[in-house]
Structure 1
Amino acid sequence: LAKRGTAFTNAHCQATLCNPSRSSVLTGLRPSTTGIHGLSPGIRQVERTKDVVTLPQTFTRAGWETFTCGKIYHDGSIPQKDRDSEFKTWGPAPGQSLPDKRFAKLPGNPIRMMDWGAFPEKDEDIADTFTREAVGFIERNKEKPFFLYFAPHDVHPPTIPHPRFVGTTGLGNRADMLSELDWSVGEILKTLERHGLAKNTLVIFSSDNGASPMNENGHLPNGPWRGKKSQLWEGGHREPFIARWPGHIASGTTSDDLVCLVDLPATAAAVAGQKLAEGAAPDSFNLLPILLGQPEAKKRDSLVVMSGKGDLAIRQGSWKYIPDLALANGWDSGPVKPNAPARPGLFDLSKDKGESQNLYKDRPEIAKRMAGLLTNAQSAKSTRPPSSK
């Protein structure tokens, strides 16, 4: 996919946890605005987002067919009666088309994991089912403009790959499931090719938070970046982001432009030829000019990210500022004593990908500027420059 498109090496989610991250993807609002910081509530269960026009609704209003399957709305937060107002067509999704919640206790894993997408009855058939549904949607709508949000189970526990993928990587079940995910993406791309749709279809591949395991049999899922899911370290919010659109997006290229998943709603509006309503998606930056390689494209200057416990950090250029390192580990942060002084952190990621050299005391002028940027962003009604709608 990357060989036929552009891989963005400086891509991030807005929140290092799945539900608040996807809430930002759907609404174009940062988590500190939505108030969604954890695994609940859903976007239609809070005052700020209960009536906002979402990413799929932008395409629906433009007359496109829309389809989803998999883990998008967290744990069935969209009632059955309201589903059609979000996507025109639904495939299998947790809490939507499934029986009561099922749980799986994995061998050697003391945590009782919720199975977010068990459909059908056998867990190992989930990928086949989701992929078949997505391919079927494309084939039924090949003569129409369509938006497909494919959210496979394969990146989330419990890790139960189909038997034909077991052992394919030599790195364990989770890596085998990622091999299964690669197959699913390939089947969707083959379908576009088979029906002559590839040249007229924008494909974006990404994820909604950093990998949870930090070492799998010698493989480092987050590469050189420190940290993991729920944490403020780079490994918590760095994401893959590959965009392919033959004839529009350059092939086999990389970009270090700063991009974020919260930018997808404004980008979707531009792709669909729709104008964002006044005040809609105020934290979403239109990436389309960047994707198309336009030399005068406006680019994102900074980014605020949130941990799994609601704490914030800010990125600008190569600099990263964390107001209190005691809170950087998200869910894994220990208790903080009341009135304990904060321990700020400042890191130059161009020289320190592991965020191990705290330059807060060495570069006080940069630390002060970054702290001010974060304060201003928290109080701003919109973090999107006016020219990037």
Structure 2
Amino acid sequence: MKKVILEFFTKVSITLSLLLTISCNEIPQKNITNDKTPNVIIIYLDDLGYGDVGFNGGKIHTPHIDKLAQGGLVFDNGYASSATCTPSRYALLTGIYPWRKKEAKILEGTAPLLIDTSQTTLPKILKKAGYVTGIIGKWHLGLGKGNIDWNSHISPGPNEVGFDYSYIMAATQDRVPTVYITNGTVNNLDPEDKIEVSYRKNFEGEPTALDHPEMVKMKWHHGHNNSIVNGIPRIGYMKGGTQAKWVDTTMSKKFLKQAQQFVSQDKNKPFFLYYALQQPHVPRTPNPKFAGKSGMGARGDVIMEADWTIGQLMKTLEQNSLLDNTLIIFSSDNGPVLNDGYYDEAVEKLGNHNPWGPFSGGKYSLLQAGTHVPFITYWKGQIEPGTSDALVSQIDLVASLANLVNIKIPKTDSENLIDTFLGKKSDGRKELIIEATSRTAFRKGEWMMIPPYPGPKVLKQQNIETGNSEEYQLYNLRTDKKEQKNLAQSNKAKLDEMIKAFKAIRGTDKN
């Protein structure tokens, strides 16, 4: 009897050992789902073109961005929703096409909050999933309800649409007010030196670039001739707030320091950081450490500086052992522009660098370079490095990240492409509407259709093709990335198909 029992346990032991061996041999797979909820960082540059980065053939030195690309998934068909900043940021945070909201245009610094506080937003979704949420950098989605008092608490703003922490500029670096705002309060404000802001008329006795050109250190080219701050003429008028005004050349470092502190805080909760860099938007004011380093003028210099700040943030993540559990999404709000209001040698020193890559157009344009932007997803150990030709848009991040954290949301224009963003699937969305200064166009598969629009074919001051034409335009992007050969007449069947699909989304009475 003892012998039978002994033989039985011997067989069981051998069987268990064999199963354990097989199990252990099966464990080391490349892409095992991380059980812990990942941190999420969106690194969002301002006016960075598809061809401005090294991994897309750019001549500016961007080693840290390129390292993200080498270790992550590069989307060759990644899009911003719009060819200008405010609409793209609206779409990114709400998952809604900006053309659905008529106010979603380039906003003045005094504009009211564009996002309704009752709307579902990306930070609200992640906050509901237990995340600490933060926005650091450029906001440009409006503040308050109109008639802002900059000398008291400003509300509603980022905090009221889902961000636990906000450290922002209200609009853009070339617009007033030129101050940092933390959780709705202007930093370093002297109560005896109250801030006043207007986009309609100047304040009595306040110098502008037109009446005091001797005060200007950065010469304006077009549209930037109002209040002068730090020798730089801006859009809009501002009075007071002397101690609160930012120093342009240290802005990138200020935002970086805030980002580093945010990701280094309490590790018991996952975090979502929307890190919205102000570069390479005008005025381009590189820190002295980077001034002249690119050989391509201030625009090249600030792209190098932005790359350095991204490298510093990555270093902080690594030092805090966060890289293995952080999903990083890198992109830009719209395509490139060289001369956007100041003389800064961006045109003269461009050399053989091609900010728009293989495309035509740029910022403000319906042509590809307006919205076809750099796009990377990176998650160390989870996303297999490589490239994807899937059609994806920043508008899809809302539904995709909601799925990642198992939060149900109302239906929007956002599509759940989380498996595509993580490299588990190769297919993207089938169709996409893009927007530029309230005009819209339609991509479906490899085809792009642009309806007829009045207006100039080229923006003379910026030297950018707009995509405007008196006739419908139809391009096959697989064979004609520059959109040079209009097939609207020769392929009317495809044109009719595109128009029908476009109107099904956009509406029959709108272009």
The answer, yes or no, to whether TM exceeds 0.5 is yes
Q: CA deviation at 1:316?
A: 1.2
Matched, 1:237 2:237: no
Candidates 85, 89, 98, aligned match of 1:31: 98
TM-score w.r.t. the length of structure 2 is 0.66
Take 1:270 and 1:77, find their aligned partners in 2: how far apart are those partners?
31
- Equivalent residues in 2 for 1:9-24, closer than 5 Å: 9-24=76-91
Which is further off, 16-25 or 103-112?
103-112
Judging by fraction of residues, say which structure has more helix.
1
Please tell me the residue identity of whatever aligns with 2:98. Answer: P
> Is the contact made by 1:120 and 1:126 (CA closer than 8 Å) also made in structure 2?
no
Partner of 1:93: 169
- Matches for 1:292-371 after TM superposition, within 5 Å: 292-295=422-425, 299-308=428-437, 310-324=438-452, 326=454, 342-371=470-499
Aligned partners of 1:332, 1:123: CA distance in 2, in Å?
A: 28
Aligned residue for 1:338? none
Report the CA distance between 1:366 and its aligned residue. 0.7
Question: How far does the alpha carbon of each residue in 1:196-229 deviate from its partner, in whole angstroms, 9 at most, with x for none?
Answer: 1101000011011111128533322111210011
Rate the CA distance shift 1:249–1:377 in 2: closer, same or farther, 3 A: same
Using the TM superposition, give the Cα deviation of residue 287 of structure 1 relative to its aligned residue in structure 2, in angstroms: 2.1
CA contact (8 A) 2:328 2:377 kept: yes
Cα separation, 2, equivalents of 1:225 and 1:326: 22
What are the residue-to-residue correspondences of 1:98-177 with 2, within 5 Å?
Answer: 100=195, 106-107=218-219, 109-112=221-224, 114=234, 121-177=246-302
One-letter code of the match for 2:137? G
Partner of 1:387: none
Q: 3-state DSSP class of the match of 2:402?
A: helix
Partner of 1:336: none
SS in 2 for 1:133: helix
C-alpha displacement of 1:109: 2.9
SS of the residue aligned with 1:140? coil
Highest CA radius of gyration, 1 or 2? Answer: 2
Q: What SS does the aligned partner of 1:81 have?
A: coil
Task: Output the CA distance in 2 between the equivalents of 1:348 and 1:153.
Answer: 34
How far is the alpha carbon of 1:328 from its aligned partner? 8.2
Match of 2:230 in 1: none
Question: Which whole-Å deviations, capped at 9, do the CAs of 1:215-258 have from their partners, x for residues lacking one?
Answer: 5333221112100111100011111111101222112x111110
1:69 aligns with 2:136: yes
Aligned amino acid, residue 277 of structure 2: P
Alignment partners' CA distance in 2, 1:242 and 1:107: 35
Hey, what's the Cα distance between the residues in 2 that align with 1:32 and 1:332?
Answer: 25
Cα deviation for residue 110 of structure 1 reads 4.1
Q: 1:2 to 1:305 in 2, by over 3 A?
A: same
Q: Which residue of 1 aligns with 2:360?
A: 226
For 1:169-318, what aligned pairs fall within 5 Å after superposition? Answer: 169-213=294-338, 216-251=350-385, 253-276=386-409, 278-279=410-411, 282-295=412-425, 299-308=428-437, 310-318=438-446
Give the 3-state SS of the residue equivalent to 1:255 in structure 2.
strand
Cα displacement (A) at 1:115:
7.6
Give, in whole Å, the separation in 2 of the partners of 1:141 and 1:109: 46
Q: Which amino acid aligns with 1:369?
A: E
TM-score normalised by L of structure 1:
0.85
Secondary structure of the residue aligned to 1:312 is: strand
- The unaligned stretches of length 5 or more in structure 2 are 1-67, 146-152, 171-176, 190-194, 199-207, 210-215, 225-232, 237-242, 340-346, 462-468
Q: Mind listing any 5+ residue stretches in structure 1 that lack a counterpart?
A: 334-340, 381-389
Q: For the residues of structure 2 that align with 1:18 and 1:285, how far apart are their CA atoms?
A: 21
Q: 1:82-140: per-residue Cα shift (whole Å, max 9, x none)?
A: 34333101123226336756999623634316489x98632100001000000011111
Q: Structure 1 194/120 Cα, relative in aligned 2: closer, same or farther at 3 Å?
A: farther
Match of 1:250, as an amino acid?
A: E
- 1:325 to partner: Cα distance: 5.5
Shifted more, 80-89 versus 217-226: the winner is 80-89
Distance across 2 between alignment mates of 1:349 and 1:28: 25
How many residues align structurally? 364
| Aligned CA-pair RMSD | 2.8
Over 3 Å counting, the alpha-carbon distance change for 1:137 and 1:379 in structure 2 is same
